[in-house]
């Protein structure tokens, strides 16, 4: 049953990633760094932080039997964000000898995702104070 819940969340997350990526690419001019996946990964980190802050008020340990964790964190957020595409895009910038763009993309992706996660954790935990 757990695998079906992960698959359900993952299917929704992957579909949302595709739709958001397509929407961003249709709205923005070609950028020097891969903007669509940068936005997707930062937004996904924010979602995960909001979820952890709201549901657990911390980064949970050993929650692989918790259904909300499986559906949202593993399924949705796991499929919505994409480390593999980030890696391909970063390596492509290196192969094209665009070292500054590579450093910018990697720094914004990793730093932005971590900051977004922390902001999400804070905001999610604040919601619990009002409920």
- C-alpha of 98 from chain center: 25
Task: Report yes or no on whether pTM surpasses 0.85.
Answer: yes
Contacts of 106-114 spanning 24+ positions with Cβ under 8 A:
108/33, 108/38, 109/38, 109/41, 109/42, 112/38, 112/41, 112/42, 112/45, 113/41, 113/42, 113/44, 113/45, 113/81, 114/45
Q: What percent of the chain has pLDDT over 70?
A: 99
User: Which of 1-10, 29-38, 64-73 comes out lowest in average pLDDT?
Assistant: 29-38
To 5 degrees, how large is the angle CA 47–CA 54–CA 131?
A: 135
- Does 129 or 45 have the greater pLDDT score? 45
Summarize pLDDT for 19-53 with one digit per residue, the tens.
Answer: 999 999 888 877 788 999 999 999 999 999 999 99
- Does 28 or 90 have the greater pLDDT score? 90
Cα 21 to Cα 79: distance, rounded to the nearest angstrom? 13
* Percent helix, strand and coil across the chain, each to the nearest 5: 80, 0, 20
85 annotated as belonging to a binding site for a ligand: no
Cβ atoms of 59 and 117 closer than 8 Å = no
Cα 37 to Cα 130: distance, rounded to the nearest angstrom? 33
Q: What percent of the chain has pLDDT over 90?
A: 82
Predicted local confidence at residue 69, as pLDDT? 95
81 annotated as belonging to a binding site for a ligand: yes
């Amino acid at each position: 049953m757990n695998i079906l819940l992960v698959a359900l969340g993952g299917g929704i997350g992957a579909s949302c990633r595709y739709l958001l990526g397509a929407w961003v690419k249709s709205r923005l001019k070609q950028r020097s760094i891969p903007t669509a996946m940068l936005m997707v990964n930062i937004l996904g980190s924010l979602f995960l932080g909001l979820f952890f802050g709201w549901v657990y008020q911390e980064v949970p340990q050993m929650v692989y039997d918790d259904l909300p964790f499986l559906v949202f964190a593993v399924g949705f957020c796991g499929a919505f964000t994409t480390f593999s595409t980030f890696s391909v895009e970063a390596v492509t910038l290196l192969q094209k000898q665009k070292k500054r763009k590579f450093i910018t993309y990697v720094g914004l992706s990793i730093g932005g995702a971590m900051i977004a996660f922390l902001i999400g954790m804070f905001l999610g935990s604040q919601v619990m104070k009002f409920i």
